[in-house]
Structure 1
Amino acid sequence: MTHPSRLERPSGDDWFSIYRTMVLYDFQAEIHAGFFVSYYRNFAIPSIAKTLAGRGEMQARPLKRSYDTGIVIHEIIANGFDSDRGAAMVELLRRVHKGVPGTSEDFLYVLMTLLVLPLRWVDAHGWRKLTPLEEDAAVAFYSELGRRMGLGPAPSTFFGAAKFLDDYEARHLGPSPEGVALLDATVGALQNRLPRMLRPLTGTVLALMMDKPEVAVALGLEPSPVWLRVPFNAALRLRALRTRMRALPTSPSFTPGGVMSAYPDGYTLDMIGPRA
């Protein structure tokens, strides 16, 4: 028996609650995979890769940097913008981005990768398609995050966000020495999460996860051949079918302060982010 979404339109159009349900419950694995695609996507933009490489954090502490990126956004999603933990993470984002070189379009692009790419992954590989209400909820969340970070106005629709991302990539996507170096330094973070049998193929898996072949090229990876993409997509379809036949998770995919590879004893918020 297939299971329906737990989603119903809440009173007052509580967009952030809808997005929290999407990320932490209904599409746990799918959005998690989409966040990984977002994380590596920035390395395919030469100007952004140069900025990230210049700061040195990813090369010095790649596993911590990868987990911290996920923790920051999940703390805000799980606890809300106005909670003490959520507000602390927004302030951390504002602090670490202060004085970072880049145009307002660059910063908005990074934000839009977090919105667009996970939702595209859900629509391509999830156990069901997203509803317009869920797309609107995600747009509302990242619009609010951008506003609190002091960024310029974000697109007001998912269509507009996706068009912005695609147009930006059409103009800026490309290989760079910094992008390749960042990938080499951080690919272990993905390898750490893959089944043991797939770890020697981490680069191939990452190339398969990218929805545009030119992204793999920009990252210094070999584009995935069709004969590999077919079984890869088939395995994801099988996983989606099995997920559709199971009950929805009742436990969230993220626990604030919880144990993870980078923090085997758990973490406190003062441990998150680059060293002063």
Structure 2
Amino acid sequence: MAEARYIAPPIVVVGVLLLWLVLVRSLRWRRYNAIHSKYGPKWNNGQGIITPEEAQKIIHVAGLYDMPLLMNVALAFALFKTYGIPTISKLLAATKQLKSKETISRRYTDTEILIATWVSCPISGFLDLQASKEISEKGADAKPADDPRAMIALARVNYLHSRYKISNDDYLYTLSLFILEPMVWADRYAWRRLSPLEKEAGFIYWKEIGKRMGIREIPETIPELSAWSKKYEEMYMVPAQTNRDIGDTTVDELLAAVPNVLGLKSLGRRIAICLMDDIVRESMMYEKQHAYLSWLVDAMLKTTAFVQRWLMLPAFSPRSVVALDPKPKRTKEGECPRLHPEKFAARPWYRPQPTGLGYLRDKLLVAAGWFTEMPGPHLKSEGYRLEELGPLKFEDRAHEEVMKSAAELQGCPVAGPWSLEGRREKC
């Protein structure tokens, strides 16, 4: 006689589900509550002051733990949105860095690494906030930074930008999007909205970045910045062929890993267009998509947010494009210490060249379409140095200038493996 199967009573199933919901609820809000308990009273609804270094700690909760993918996409779309301004798209077209898959894939990767570095790594150069408060008092006599990568990255971007004629308004518009778009995307698609403290922290942090980039006339409040940004769009975001050209190559790069079968790549393009604001879409001369597709994309993203909020445990470790540990990974004797990203695009720039089982793994990833080709020296599999990032023609230029600028930006010396001295000792 067959044994009867045991079926858990409904009350047991309901009990387990309730316990899971309570566990998710308690863990998912843990970091949010902790950061607000720590800095909320100090900010005091705008009556107090938080420093840019403290602001960076606050934005890390959403950016590295609670919604890292969404925040990364928001920044990517912020950058994409600037391509709807003809003065910006014409400059990018003139550089020819977004004209072919060879140049755009590296340009996209380098840009993502540079921005992620100054977002994720401490802008003071010190892991301890108290240490960062002391450097302004000591100046040149201050001890070297624990982690100078953020300001090396920013100094490198400042150098690269200095090679081109860019108006302050175009700089300011780009900065405004890096402040405002994460708020917009969180409101629309995240499992929770950014709090007033987080929004203000984002403003304070990016305003400091703007100052260190030499951007002038930054509005003093979020509403003022939002009004300025909207007015700038209304005046200057107009259709232009260069907008469309840069938009097309960028979307193609973002969809490089999507197979061109069963209309998947075409669908991906249409979804990307659905995510654009009307003014951006019109400036890039894309057709408005069917309402049902826009509704479907919106519903899909909001369903994902619902599942994240109520059913999924939070991230227990930070998620960043760059490694957060400032110490270099072990290198062979005599090798220059280099960095590798924590994630890779379809064309895997800076991915270590695999061996053994890793080679088979990467072969399978290429066969599956995750990567378009195998890592190797042609994609700089040895890794990157921050002072080398950017267009190929600038790779070997201005390294000393960048390091000097980085030291000035963080207010203390650059030393260790990511300095030129550390590089020379190893190379």
Give the structure-2-normalised TM-score.
Answer: 0.61
Residue in structure 1 matched with residue 94 of structure 2 by the alignment: 54
Q: 1:88-99 counterparts in 2 under 5 A?
A: 88-99=152-163
Deviation at 1:55, TM superposition (A): 1.3
Residue in structure 1 matched with residue 67 of structure 2 by the alignment: 27
* Alpha-carbon separation, structure 2, partners of 1:194 and 1:172: 33
Say whether residues 1:103 and 2:170 are aligned partners: no
Deviation at 1:44, TM superposition (A): 0.7
Deviation at 1:193, TM superposition (A): 6.0
Letter of the structure 2 residue corresponding to residue 4 of structure 1: W
8 A Cα contact 2:247 2:284, kept in partner? yes
Higher mean alpha-carbon deviation, 65-74 vs 232-241, is at 65-74
Residue in structure 2 matched with residue 4 of structure 1 by the alignment: 29
Residue in structure 1 matched with residue 110 of structure 2 by the alignment: 68
* Alpha-carbon separation, structure 1, partners of 2:171 and 2:31: 34
* Alpha-carbon separation, structure 2, partners of 1:116 and 1:271: 30
Residue in structure 2 matched with residue 78 of structure 1 by the alignment: 120
Residue in structure 2 matched with residue 235 of structure 1 by the alignment: 300
Equivalenced residues, count: 275
* Alpha-carbon separation, structure 2, partners of 1:5 and 1:200: 41
Q: Of residues 54, 58, 61 in structure 2, which corresponds to 1:18?
A: 58
Deviation at 1:5, TM superposition (A): 5.2
8 A Cα contact 1:126 1:240, kept in partner? yes
Structure 2 residues without counterparts, runs of 5 or longer = 1-20, 43-49, 126-147, 324-339, 353-382, 395-427
Residues 195 and 148 of structure 1, relative CA distance in 2, 3 Å threshold: farther
Higher mean alpha-carbon deviation, 238-247 vs 98-107, is at 98-107
Q: Of residues 109, 115, 139 in structure 1, which corresponds to 2:203?
A: 139
Identity over aligned pairs, percent: 24
Deviation at 1:224, TM superposition (A): 2.2
Letter of the structure 2 residue corresponding to residue 182 of structure 1: I
Residue in structure 2 matched with residue 127 of structure 1 by the alignment: 191
Structure 1 residues without counterparts, runs of 5 or longer = none
Residue in structure 1 matched with residue 280 of structure 2 by the alignment: 215
Residues 157 and 223 of structure 1, relative CA distance in 2, 3 Å threshold: same
Q: 1:242-261 counterparts in 2 under 5 A?
A: 242-245=307-310, 246-254=312-320, 255-256=322-323, 257-259=340-342, 260=344, 261=348
Say whether residues 1:262 and 2:349 are aligned partners: yes
Deviation at 1:251, TM superposition (A): 2.3
Say whether residues 1:169 and 2:233 are aligned partners: yes
Letter of the structure 1 residue corresponding to residue 274 of structure 2: L
Residues 34 and 263 of structure 1, relative CA distance in 2, 3 Å threshold: same
* Alpha-carbon separation, structure 2, partners of 1:34 and 1:174: 22
Residue in structure 2 matched with residue 226 of structure 1 by the alignment: 291
8 A Cα contact 1:44 1:218, kept in partner? yes
Name the structure with the higher helix share.
Answer: 1
* Alpha-carbon separation, structure 2, partners of 1:45 and 1:39: 11
8 A Cα contact 1:190 1:202, kept in partner? no
| Higher-RCO chain (CA-CA 8 Å, sequence separation at least 6) | 1
Higher mean alpha-carbon deviation, 131-140 vs 26-35, is at 26-35
Residues 185 and 100 of structure 1, relative CA distance in 2, 3 Å threshold: same
Deviation at 1:17, TM superposition (A): 0.4
Letter of the structure 2 residue corresponding to residue 164 of structure 1: W
* Alpha-carbon separation, structure 2, partners of 1:264 and 1:187: 22
* Alpha-carbon separation, structure 1, partners of 2:258 and 2:29: 29
Deviation at 1:104, TM superposition (A): 1.2
Give RMSD over aligned pairs: 2.0
Residue in structure 1 matched with residue 369 of structure 2 by the alignment: none
Please list the CA deviations of residues 179-225 of structure 1 after superposition, one character each: whole Å capped at 9, or x if unmatched. Answer: 11112222222103668874332321221111x21211211321222
Please list the CA deviations of residues 21-77 of structure 1 after superposition, one character each: whole Å capped at 9, or x if unmatched. Answer: 221111112112212211211111111111111111122411111122221111011
8 A Cα contact 2:191 2:309, kept in partner? yes
* Alpha-carbon separation, structure 1, partners of 2:79 and 2:30: 28
* Alpha-carbon separation, structure 1, partners of 2:242 and 2:293: 28
